[in-house]
Structures are given as C-alpha cells and as structure tokens.
Amino acid sequence: MCRLLSLIFLLWIPQISYAARPLVTDDARLTNAHSCQLESWMRSYQGGQELWALPACNLGENFEITLGGGSYRNTDDHYHTEDWIGQFKTLLKPLETNDWGVGLAVGRVMHPDIQPGPNQFGNTYFYIPVSFSLRDDDLILHVNVGMLRDRQEDRNKMNMGLGSEFKLAGRFRGVAEVFGDHTQNPFYQVGLRYSLVPDVFQIDGTVGQQVNGNSQTQWLSIGVRWTP
C-alpha cells in the first residue's frame, strides 16, 4: 500500500499546482500585483497523510513565483518523504468577467528523500491554463494541457485537467474537476469553498478518488487560502 500511495503522490505533483484551492487544475489568474498569498492544506488517504504549504508572490504586474513544499507520511510503516516546488507563471491574456484568459506555467518538483538510487530526483514540467468566465463569474471553467518529464520512469507524459468553480448560496462556491496524465486512469474530486473574509481568507474541503480505483486511491482534503 505504501508503494501505491507514493506512486499516486508522485503522479499528482506536477499539477498540485498552483490552482486556487482546492482545485488541482490551474486557472488563468495570478496573485494580485506586488502582493503574496499562502495556500496550505492536508490530504488524508487510507494509511497516510500529506501536508502542503505553497506561498506565491507576484513580483510585478504579470510574473508570479511559487516556492513551497510538502511532506507525506505513511502511518502503517512510517515511510516519509518531502518534496520541494519552484514554479514561474505568467498570463498571455488575463481572465476577465464574461471573457476568457490564458497563461503559461513552468516548474520543477524535487524529491530529495523518496528513495535512494538514480533517477529519483525531480520532475520538470510546463502547462497552459485556459479559463472561461460565464454568467458574471457564477460559473468559471479551467482547462490545462501540458507536459512533464518523469525522471523516475525516464519518459515524458502529457498531463491534462478540466475544472470548474460555481456559485452556491451566500459565500459558498462549489468545485469539481478531473485531471491526470495519459498513462493511467484520471483522478476526480468535488468539494466546497467558503469565504470567511471575502477575497482575503477562505477554507475548503474536498473528497476524491482515481477513476475505477480502489479504496486506497480515495482521499479527503481540507485547506486554507490567505490573500492579504
């Protein structure tokens, strides 16, 4: 089970990305100019947990840097790994209400403690996020297409994602998405986002699983997003 969970963990990382929590599929939006934000969450599996913190800063008007990391711990055999992420993102066309936007993101994920031996250190990736705003932002759709270099398997993989955000009652918004790469069954998740302080602080939660996967691929996540 440890090996399976670790594999799922690795396959997610190129997209764990940098979407607005709790989506994995990224959006054609950036942190506000000359400001920073923090996204942090915990994801629990059967027998294991991940904990992530991803601060991001927009250094100018259109150049966002994300530097952060996460850890995974298997509660059955105490297997533990840490991962570190660096990503750059820019917009070719910013998303506006009742319009569409497109961007470009490039990044690298490092796995210094996964396993000893060669070809276990990191993935380099890029993807193009495209977003569509409908009905005055009541519904926002996100599409991601990209490529990653899997050094563990020594090959390139195409990754894809389709996500949605939709308005519910009050300060609640719903999210739903499906994502993955071309070498395996995709993953999906659904959840809720609630703004404690609109445009400043939110909490969220999701449940998800791999398509046709067993109980070991199921997860529950809770997270926060702070945009001061």
Does residue 9 register a pLDDT over 60? no
Please name the helix (run of DSSP H) or strand (run of DSSP E) that holds residue 128, with its range, or none.
Answer: strand 123-134
Does residue 15 register a pLDDT over 70? no
Q: What is the pTM of this model?
A: 0.86
Q: What type of residue is 221? A: S
Please name the helix (run of DSSP H) or strand (run of DSSP E) that holds residue 103, with its range, or none.
Answer: strand 100-110
pLDDT digits (tens, 9 = 90+) for 44-86: 988 888 899 999 999 988 999 999 988 888 877 777 888 888 9
| Contact call for residues 139 and 164 (beta carbons, < 8 A) | yes
User: Could you tell me which residues come within 8 angstroms of residue 191 by beta carbon, excluding any fewer than 6 positions away?
Assistant: 22, 174, 175, 176, 204, 205, 206, 207, 221
Taking 3-state DSSP, the helix, strand and coil percentages for the chain, each rounded to the nearest 5, stand at: 5, 60, 35
Contacts 24+ apart (CB under 8 A), 217-221: 217/4, 217/8, 217/45, 217/187, 218/45, 218/46, 219/43, 219/44, 219/45, 219/189, 220/43, 220/44, 221/22, 221/41, 221/42, 221/43, 221/44, 221/189, 221/191
Q: What token pair was written down for 116?
A: 């000893």
Average pLDDT, the chain: 86
pLDDT digits (tens, 9 = 90+) for 165-176: 999 999 999 999
* Burial class of residue 215 (count of CB atoms within 10 Å of its CB; 0-12, 13-18, 19+): exposed
User: Could you tell me which residues come within 8 angstroms of residue 88 by beta carbon, excluding any fewer than 6 positions away?
Assistant: 63, 64, 65, 105, 106, 107
Domain 2-210, CATH class in plain words = mainly beta
| Contact call for residues 28 and 94 (beta carbons, < 8 A) | yes
Domains of the chain, by residue range, sit at 2-210
> Is 166 strand, coil or helix?
strand
Local confidence band at 27 (pLDDT 50, 70, 90 cut-offs): very high
201 or 84, which is more confident: 201
Q: What's the CA gap between 88 and 2, in Å, rounded? A: 31
| Contact call for residues 187 and 208 (beta carbons, < 8 A) | yes
